Amino acid sequence: MKGRIVKIISSSYFVEADGRSFCCTARKTVKNELKLVVGDIVEFSDDEKVIEKVCERKNSLIRPYVANVDICAIVIALKPAPDFMLVDKIIVNCLEQCIEPVIVVNKCDLDKIDMSDYIGFKIFYISALTGDGVAEFKNYLGNKTVCLAGQSAVGKSSLINAMLGQSVMETGEFSKKIERGKNTTRQTSLIKCDDFYIIDTCGFSLLNVIDIPPENLRLYYDEFLKYSENCRFTVCTHTDEPDCAVKERVGKEISKKRYDRYVAIFNELSENRRKKYD
Protein backbone atom coordinates (compact mmCIF):
# COMPACT_ATOMS: atom_id res chain seq x y z
CA MET A 1 0.00 0.00 0.00
CA LYS A 2 1.01 3.62 -0.44
CA GLY A 3 0.40 6.26 2.20
CA ARG A 4 1.80 9.32 3.91
CA ILE A 5 3.62 9.55 7.24
CA VAL A 6 1.55 11.82 9.50
CA LYS A 7 3.39 11.31 12.80
CA ILE A 8 6.56 9.69 14.10
CA ILE A 9 7.04 8.53 17.69
CA SER A 10 10.37 6.81 18.34
CA SER A 11 10.54 3.99 15.76
CA SER A 12 6.81 3.96 15.09
CA TYR A 13 5.60 5.59 11.89
CA PHE A 14 1.93 6.46 11.67
CA VAL A 15 0.88 6.27 8.02
CA GLU A 16 -2.42 7.47 6.57
CA ALA A 17 -3.67 5.51 3.57
CA ASP A 18 -7.12 4.98 2.06
CA GLY A 19 -8.72 6.99 4.86
CA ARG A 20 -7.21 4.76 7.54
CA SER A 21 -4.25 5.08 9.91
CA PHE A 22 -1.58 2.39 10.22
CA CYS A 23 1.17 2.11 12.82
CA CYS A 24 4.23 0.87 10.92
CA THR A 25 7.86 0.05 11.44
CA ALA A 26 10.52 0.46 8.75
CA ARG A 27 13.08 -1.84 7.18
CA LYS A 28 16.65 -1.18 8.32
CA THR A 29 17.63 -0.72 4.70
CA VAL A 30 15.05 2.07 4.37
CA LYS A 31 16.16 3.82 7.57
CA ASN A 32 19.81 3.50 6.60
CA GLU A 33 19.12 5.11 3.23
CA LEU A 34 17.63 8.33 4.64
CA LYS A 35 15.88 9.70 7.70
CA LEU A 36 12.12 9.21 7.48
CA VAL A 37 10.20 12.41 8.21
CA VAL A 38 6.61 13.57 8.49
CA GLY A 39 5.19 14.17 5.03
CA ASP A 40 7.08 11.32 3.36
CA ILE A 41 5.09 9.23 0.87
CA VAL A 42 5.90 5.59 1.56
CA GLU A 43 5.03 2.11 0.38
CA PHE A 44 4.34 -0.45 3.11
CA SER A 45 3.13 -4.02 3.41
CA ASP A 46 -0.52 -4.18 4.45
CA ASP A 47 -0.05 -7.39 6.40
CA GLU A 48 3.21 -6.76 8.27
CA LYS A 49 2.83 -2.96 8.46
CA VAL A 50 6.46 -2.49 7.45
CA ILE A 51 7.64 0.43 5.32
CA GLU A 52 9.45 -1.00 2.29
CA LYS A 53 10.15 2.13 0.25
CA VAL A 54 10.20 5.92 0.47
CA CYS A 55 8.97 7.66 -2.68
CA GLU A 56 11.02 10.49 -4.14
CA ARG A 57 10.49 13.75 -2.28
CA LYS A 58 9.57 16.90 -4.17
CA ASN A 59 11.21 18.95 -1.40
CA SER A 60 12.19 18.91 2.24
CA LEU A 61 13.09 21.29 5.04
CA ILE A 62 15.84 20.56 7.54
CA ARG A 63 14.38 22.54 10.42
CA PRO A 64 11.51 21.97 10.73
CA TYR A 65 12.35 18.51 9.33
CA VAL A 66 9.42 17.77 7.01
CA ALA A 67 8.92 16.67 3.39
CA ASN A 68 6.61 17.27 0.44
CA VAL A 69 5.40 20.71 1.48
CA ASP A 70 3.49 23.13 -0.77
CA ILE A 71 3.31 26.18 1.50
CA CYS A 72 5.28 27.24 4.56
CA ALA A 73 3.27 29.64 6.74
CA ILE A 74 5.69 31.65 8.86
CA VAL A 75 3.70 32.68 11.91
CA ILE A 76 4.71 35.79 13.86
CA ALA A 77 2.99 37.90 16.50
CA LEU A 78 3.44 41.12 18.42
CA LYS A 79 4.45 39.04 21.45
CA PRO A 80 6.91 37.41 21.55
CA ALA A 81 8.71 40.09 19.55
CA PRO A 82 9.12 39.00 15.92
CA ASP A 83 12.50 37.57 14.94
CA PHE A 84 12.73 38.88 11.38
CA MET A 85 16.14 37.29 10.86
CA LEU A 86 14.46 33.94 11.46
CA VAL A 87 11.68 34.92 9.04
CA ASP A 88 14.21 35.79 6.32
CA LYS A 89 16.15 32.57 6.81
CA ILE A 90 12.99 30.47 6.58
CA ILE A 91 12.01 32.33 3.40
CA VAL A 92 15.39 31.56 1.78
CA ASN A 93 15.14 27.89 2.76
CA CYS A 94 11.62 27.69 1.34
CA LEU A 95 12.49 29.33 -1.96
CA GLU A 96 15.52 27.06 -2.38
CA GLN A 97 13.20 24.06 -1.98
CA CYS A 98 10.45 25.50 -4.24
CA ILE A 99 8.09 25.91 -1.28
CA GLU A 100 5.85 28.97 -1.29
CA PRO A 101 6.47 31.11 1.81
CA VAL A 102 3.57 33.11 3.24
CA ILE A 103 3.59 35.21 6.39
CA VAL A 104 0.82 34.94 8.97
CA VAL A 105 0.63 37.79 11.47
CA ASN A 106 -1.31 36.42 14.43
CA LYS A 107 -2.76 38.14 17.51
CA CYS A 108 -3.98 41.11 15.47
CA ASP A 109 -6.59 41.64 18.18
CA LEU A 110 -3.68 43.15 20.16
CA ASP A 111 -2.15 45.29 17.42
CA LYS A 112 -0.75 44.96 13.92
CA ILE A 113 2.94 44.69 13.11
CA ASP A 114 4.69 46.89 10.56
CA MET A 115 5.31 44.51 7.64
CA SER A 116 6.56 47.10 5.13
CA ASP A 117 9.84 45.15 4.81
CA TYR A 118 7.91 42.37 3.06
CA ILE A 119 6.18 44.11 0.16
CA GLY A 120 5.46 41.50 -2.51
CA PHE A 121 4.93 38.64 -0.05
CA LYS A 122 1.54 37.09 0.67
CA ILE A 123 0.65 38.23 4.18
CA PHE A 124 -2.38 37.24 6.26
CA TYR A 125 -3.45 39.29 9.27
CA ILE A 126 -5.42 37.10 11.65
CA SER A 127 -6.46 36.51 15.23
CA ALA A 128 -6.74 32.89 16.28
CA LEU A 129 -8.49 34.17 19.41
CA THR A 130 -11.32 36.07 17.70
CA GLY A 131 -11.27 34.19 14.39
CA ASP A 132 -10.66 37.29 12.31
CA GLY A 133 -8.91 36.43 9.03
CA VAL A 134 -8.85 32.68 9.70
CA ALA A 135 -11.40 31.82 6.99
CA GLU A 136 -9.45 33.77 4.36
CA PHE A 137 -6.26 31.93 5.31
CA LYS A 138 -8.02 28.54 5.18
CA ASN A 139 -9.41 29.26 1.71
CA TYR A 140 -5.89 29.93 0.45
CA LEU A 141 -4.72 26.47 1.52
CA GLY A 142 -7.13 24.39 -0.55
CA ASN A 143 -5.70 20.98 -1.59
CA LYS A 144 -2.25 21.92 -0.31
CA THR A 145 0.10 20.77 2.45
CA VAL A 146 1.08 23.67 4.66
CA CYS A 147 3.82 23.72 7.26
CA LEU A 148 3.42 26.13 10.17
CA ALA A 149 6.78 27.46 11.36
CA GLY A 150 7.91 30.14 13.76
CA GLN A 151 8.86 30.95 17.32
CA SER A 152 7.19 29.40 20.34
CA ALA A 153 4.03 31.11 21.64
CA VAL A 154 3.20 32.96 18.41
CA GLY A 155 0.00 30.92 18.30
CA LYS A 156 0.61 28.13 15.80
CA SER A 157 -1.34 25.58 17.85
CA SER A 158 -4.09 28.12 18.53
CA LEU A 159 -4.31 28.78 14.79
CA ILE A 160 -4.70 25.05 14.09
CA ASN A 161 -7.48 24.85 16.68
CA ALA A 162 -9.19 27.84 15.08
CA MET A 163 -9.01 26.27 11.63
CA LEU A 164 -10.26 22.91 12.87
CA GLY A 165 -13.02 24.51 14.92
CA GLN A 166 -12.08 22.48 17.97
CA SER A 167 -9.31 22.29 20.56
CA VAL A 168 -7.08 19.42 19.48
CA MET A 169 -3.72 21.08 20.07
CA GLU A 170 -2.27 22.07 23.44
CA THR A 171 -1.53 25.78 23.65
CA GLY A 172 1.02 27.57 25.78
CA GLU A 173 1.39 30.87 27.59
CA PHE A 174 3.74 33.72 26.79
CA SER A 175 6.11 34.44 29.66
CA LYS A 176 6.54 38.16 30.30
CA LYS A 177 9.52 37.41 32.55
CA ILE A 178 11.68 35.75 29.88
CA GLU A 179 9.95 37.34 26.86
CA ARG A 180 9.32 34.05 25.12
CA GLY A 181 6.85 31.22 25.02
CA LYS A 182 6.69 27.68 26.24
CA ASN A 183 7.04 25.11 23.49
CA THR A 184 3.87 22.96 23.62
CA THR A 185 4.39 21.06 20.36
CA ARG A 186 6.71 18.19 21.23
CA GLN A 187 6.72 16.39 17.92
CA THR A 188 5.96 17.19 14.32
CA SER A 189 2.63 15.90 13.10
CA LEU A 190 0.45 16.16 10.00
CA ILE A 191 -3.23 17.01 10.52
CA LYS A 192 -6.08 16.79 7.99
CA CYS A 193 -8.23 19.92 7.85
CA ASP A 194 -11.02 20.07 5.28
CA ASP A 195 -9.26 19.59 1.91
CA PHE A 196 -5.71 20.41 3.05
CA TYR A 197 -3.06 19.14 5.47
CA ILE A 198 -1.33 21.09 8.23
CA ILE A 199 2.12 20.23 9.52
CA ASP A 200 2.57 21.63 13.01
CA THR A 201 6.17 21.96 14.15
CA CYS A 202 8.04 22.63 17.36
CA GLY A 203 8.76 26.31 17.92
CA PHE A 204 12.34 27.45 17.54
CA SER A 205 14.38 30.63 17.68
CA LEU A 206 17.50 29.68 15.72
CA LEU A 207 17.88 28.43 12.18
CA ASN A 208 20.80 28.02 9.81
CA VAL A 209 20.33 28.87 6.17
CA ILE A 210 20.53 25.86 3.90
CA ASP A 211 24.02 25.34 2.44
CA ILE A 212 23.97 27.50 -0.68
CA PRO A 213 26.86 29.43 -2.29
CA PRO A 214 26.97 32.94 -0.76
CA GLU A 215 26.95 34.54 -4.20
CA ASN A 216 23.60 32.85 -4.95
CA LEU A 217 21.81 34.33 -1.93
CA ARG A 218 20.85 37.43 -3.97
CA LEU A 219 18.68 35.23 -6.22
CA TYR A 220 16.22 34.66 -3.36
CA TYR A 221 15.45 38.37 -2.94
CA ASP A 222 12.93 39.43 -5.58
CA GLU A 223 13.22 43.09 -4.58
CA PHE A 224 16.86 43.02 -5.76
CA LEU A 225 16.27 41.50 -9.19
CA LYS A 226 14.79 44.46 -11.05
CA TYR A 227 17.75 46.65 -10.08
CA SER A 228 20.61 44.12 -10.29
CA GLU A 229 20.79 44.25 -14.09
CA ASN A 230 22.18 47.78 -13.72
CA CYS A 231 25.03 46.68 -11.43
CA ARG A 232 28.55 47.04 -12.86
CA PHE A 233 29.30 43.34 -12.36
CA THR A 234 27.18 40.55 -13.84
CA VAL A 235 27.51 38.54 -10.63
CA CYS A 236 27.16 41.19 -7.96
CA THR A 237 26.59 40.10 -4.38
CA HIS A 238 25.32 43.59 -3.51
CA THR A 239 27.67 43.82 -0.54
CA ASP A 240 31.14 45.28 -1.22
CA GLU A 241 31.11 45.80 -4.99
CA PRO A 242 31.33 49.34 -6.43
CA ASP A 243 28.57 50.77 -8.64
CA CYS A 244 25.95 48.42 -7.22
CA ALA A 245 22.48 49.48 -8.33
CA VAL A 246 20.87 47.48 -5.53
CA LYS A 247 22.78 49.30 -2.78
CA GLU A 248 21.75 52.60 -4.35
CA ARG A 249 18.08 51.68 -3.77
CA VAL A 250 18.53 50.64 -0.13
CA GLY A 251 16.48 52.90 2.11
CA LYS A 252 14.28 53.80 -0.82
CA GLU A 253 12.57 51.02 -2.78
CA ILE A 254 14.50 48.38 -0.81
CA SER A 255 14.05 48.07 2.96
CA LYS A 256 17.27 48.91 4.78
CA LYS A 257 16.44 46.54 7.64
CA ARG A 258 15.83 43.64 5.28
CA TYR A 259 18.99 44.50 3.31
CA ASP A 260 21.05 44.58 6.53
CA ARG A 261 19.72 41.12 7.41
CA TYR A 262 20.63 39.97 3.89
CA VAL A 263 24.23 41.11 4.45
CA ALA A 264 24.32 39.29 7.80
CA ILE A 265 23.07 36.06 6.18
CA PHE A 266 25.57 36.52 3.32
CA ASN A 267 28.42 36.88 5.82
CA GLU A 268 27.20 33.79 7.70
CA LEU A 269 27.22 31.74 4.50
CA SER A 270 30.66 33.09 3.58
CA GLU A 271 32.03 32.15 7.00
CA ASN A 272 30.50 28.67 6.74
CA ARG A 273 32.18 28.20 3.35
CA ARG A 274 35.53 29.37 4.74
CA LYS A 275 35.32 26.91 7.62
CA LYS A 276 34.28 24.11 5.28
CA TYR A 277 37.20 24.47 2.89
CA ASP A 278 39.97 25.75 5.18
Q: Which residue has the higher pLDDT, 182 or 6?
A: 6
Q: Is 30 left (phi over 0), alpha (psi -120 to 50) or beta?
A: alpha
The C-alpha atoms of residue 199 and residue 237 are separated, in whole angstroms, by 34
Q: In sequence order, what are the beta bridge partners of 8?
A: 13
Region 246-275 average pLDDT: 96
Which architecture characterizes domain 2-54 according to CATH? Beta Barrel (2.40)
The C-alpha atoms of residue 218 and residue 81 are separated, in whole angstroms, by 27
Write the pLDDT tens digit of every residue in 16-46: 999 899 999 999 999 999 999 999 999 999 8
Write the pLDDT tens digit of every residue in 173-182: 544 443 444 4
CATH hierarchy code of domain 214-277 = 1.10.40.50
pLDDT at 172 over 70: no
Q: What is the pLDDT, as a whole number, of residue 221? A: 97
Region 92-119 average pLDDT: 92
Q: Which residue has the higher pLDDT, 44 or 208?
A: 44
pLDDT at 131 over 70: yes
Q: What is the pLDDT, as a whole number, of residue 28? A: 94
* Pairing of β 20-26 and β 50-54: parallel
Q: What is the pLDDT, as a whole number, of residue 182? A: 46
Q: What is the pLDDT, as a whole number, of residue 24? A: 97
- Residues 6+ positions from 28 with CB-CB distance below 8 Å: none
Q: In CATH, which of 3.40.190.10, 3.40.50.300, 3.40.630.10, 3.30.300.30 is domain 60-200? A: 3.40.50.300
- Supply the pTM of this predicted model: 0.85
Give the pLDDT band of residue 95 (cuts 50, 70, 90). very high
Write the pLDDT tens digit of every residue in 39-53: 999 999 989 999 999
Domain boundaries defined on the chain? 2-54, 60-200, 214-277
The percent of residues in the chain predicted with pLDDT above 70, rounded, is 89
